[in-house]
Amino acid sequence: NFMLTQPHSVSESPGKTVTISCTRSSGSIASNYVQWYQQRPGSAPTTVIYEDNQRPSGVPDRFSGSIDSSSNSASLTISGLKTEDEADYYCQSYDSSN
């Protein structure tokens, strides 16, 4: 089993770029896909990135996902920040050994 760890919070101004990291505690970050979910207050989570770097239809290309094997982490990058991007973001993966 493994854990995924994100920073408690990140902050940036509108129009800027922010990157949220997601570090895997053991095993390779590249061994299982990573998904990212956005949850706005009072709403259910929605997928913004799946399979490491794929965007669902309707998600703007300001959102991008990547993985970095050297740091064993995934990242969600949001460029050209808008006020509507203010939300909680969660990474998710799975353990294929179970």
Domains observed in the chain = 21-93 (2.60.40.10)
- Mean pLDDT confidence for 55-84: 98
pLDDT confidence of 95, banded at 50, 70, 90? confident
Amino acid at position 56, single letter:
P
Place of tokens 């997928």: 47
* pLDDT 10s digits, 12-69: 999 999 999 999 999 999 999 999 999 999 999 999 999 999 999 999 999 999 999 9
Phi-psi region of 72 (alpha: psi -120 to 50; beta: other; left: phi over 0): left
Buried b (16+ CB within 10 A) or exposed e, 21-49: bbbbeeeebeebbbbbbbeeeeeeeeebb
State yes or no: pLDDT of 98 exceeds 60: no
- pLDDT at site 97: 66
